[in-house]
Amino acid sequence: MLKVAFLHNYFPSGGAERVTIDVANYLSAYKEYKVYVYASKIAWPLMTDGGGRNFILRKIPTQAISARRARMVERLIIDDGIDVLVQVVKAIPGIERIKARTSVKTIVACHGEPFWQRYAIVHRRQSGIFRKLMWNLFNKRRYEDGTLAMRMAISRTQRDYDTSDAYTVLCESYKQETASALGIDSEYSHIYAIENSERPVDCVNYCKENIILFVGRFENWSKRIDRLLRIWQTVQWNMCDWKLVLVGDGADWYRMKRLAEELHLERVSFDGRRDDVSEYYRRASVVALTSETEGWPLALTEGQAHGCICVAFGCTSGVKDVLSPDGECGFVVPAFDEYKYAETLLRIAAMTDEERLRIRKGSVVKRREYAPEIIYEKWRLLLDELCMKK
C-alpha cells in the first residue's frame, strides 16, 4: 500500500485545500493508497460531506515554530510509514534533514503562478507600522522596480526544486517559465504540469440573473478587489439592472466595504464567507476577477462549470489558459487596464441572449479539459512513478 501525506497550514481554507480533498478522496477509492493530511489548524466544522472520511487528519505545530513542526512531521512520516510527502505551496524548513533521516519522497505543489513569492515579499515588507516606516525610509527604493523581489523568489523556488523529487505547477506554460528561469531543460527536469481539477455540475442553469460575482479571499495585495469596485463605479449607471455581489472574507473585508461607501457604489452586496457558493454561481451571469496574481483560479473554473461568463485580467499564463480561446469561453482583459475591463462588462450587458448563451455553453465545454478523472490520473501516475524510484 502506498501511503501519501499532504502538508498544509490551515485546512480547509481555500482552493489548494479543496484540491487536496478531491485528490485525497480519489486516491482513497483505490485500495492500494492510504492518504493523510497534516495541518496546523483544522476547521473541523467545515469537514462535512465526507471531506474527512476518506483520509486521516493529523494536527501539527504551526509554521511559526518551524523546528518543532519539522520534528513532528518527521515523527509522523516514520510512525505512519509515509512513502510520499506532498508539501503544498512550498517546502518546509528542515525538509533536507527529514529526507536524510527517512526514505520519504517529496513533492512541492506550487498553487500560484511561478515566482508568486515576489508579491508576498513586497507585501510583507509593508505590513505593520514599523515595517511601513522601514519601507518608506529604505526598502521602497530597493524593491520598487521588482528585480530584487524576483531574484529572491527565484532563489526560493530553486531551493524548493532542489529539495524535492517532483515539483508540480498548474499548466504547461508555467513549466516552461519555471524551467527557463532556473536555467534547466524542462524536458529533463522533475517539473510536472498538473492542473487543478473542476467537478462537473449537474443541470447547469443557463437562465442567469444580471449579477456580477466575485468569489475569493479579501486579500487586496493579491486579489485587488479595489480595482473591481472602481470598475463598477465606472459602469454602474450604464448597467442599471445589474448588481455586484462579493462573496468571501479576509483581512481587507472592512476596508473594501468602506471603499465601496466612499465611491458611492449602488447595488453592491458584501455577502461574507459562504461554505457553499454553488447557488451564487448558479444565479450569476458573470464571474469577475481583477487580481494582481493568480495561479489557476478556481473561481473562474467553478464559474465555467456553472455556465457563467468569466472575465479576468490576463495577469498570468494560467488565467489565459483557463479563458482561451478569448471570447469563446470567457474574456481576457489586458492587465491591468480598468477602462478595457469596464468596456468588456458593458459589452456583455449589451449582448443578446443568444450571444451570452453561446459563451456559457463554451465555458461548460472548456471545463471538461480539466475534468477530475483526467487530473487525478496525473496525480496517480506521478505518485506511482516516485514509488517506483523509491
| Phi, psi (deg, nearest 5) at residue 185 | -85, 115
Confidence of residue 46 (pLDDT cuts 50, 70, 90): low
pLDDT at 45: 65
pLDDT at 369: 92
Extents of the domains making up the chain? 2-111+164-197+371-389, 114-150, 209-370
CATH of the domain spanning 2-111+164-197+371-389, picked from 3.40.980.10, 3.40.47.40, 3.40.50.2000, 3.30.465.10:
3.40.50.2000
The pLDDT tens digits of the residues spanning 90-104 come to 999 999 999 999 989
pLDDT at 43: 79
Q: Which residues, at least 6 apart from 45, have a Cβ–Cβ distance to it below 8 Å?
A: none
Average pLDDT score over the chain: 91
- Joined together, the cell numbers standing for residue 56 give 486521516
Q: 209-370: what fold?
A: Rossmann fold (3.40.50)
Q: What predicted TM-score, i.e. pTM, was given to this entire model?
A: 0.90
The pLDDT tens digits of the residues spanning 130-184 come to 777 877 777 778 887 789 999 999 999 999 999 999 999 999 999 999 999 999 9
d(CA 169, CA 112): 8
Percent of the chain with pLDDT over 90: 73
d(CA 336, CA 317): 14
pLDDT at 54: 82
d(CA 370, CA 101): 37
For residue 49, pLDDT beyond 60:
no
Higher pLDDT among residues 275 and 321, named by residue? 321
Work out the average pLDDT over 346-367.
Answer: 96
d(CA 376, CA 370): 10
Confidence of residue 390 (pLDDT cuts 50, 70, 90): low
Burial tier of 205 (Cβ tally within 10 Å: 0-12, 13-18, 19+) = middle
Confidence of residue 1 (pLDDT cuts 50, 70, 90): confident
Helix ranges restricted to H, the chain = 15-28, 66-80, 95-101, 117-124, 129-134, 140-143, 147-162, 172-182, 220-223, 225-235, 253-262, 278-283, 298-305, 317-322, 338-350, 353-367, 372-389
pLDDT at 159: 96
The pLDDT tens digits of the residues spanning 64-80 come to 788 999 999 999 999 99
Identical fold at 2-111+164-197+371-389 and 209-370? yes
Confidence of residue 123 (pLDDT cuts 50, 70, 90): confident
The pLDDT tens digits of the residues spanning 190-247 come to 999 999 999 899 999 999 999 999 999 999 999 999 999 999 999 999 999 999 999 9
The pLDDT tens digits of the residues spanning 261-307 come to 999 999 999 999 988 899 999 999 999 999 999 999 999 999 999 99
Confidence of residue 58 (pLDDT cuts 50, 70, 90): very high
For residue 53, pLDDT beyond 80:
no
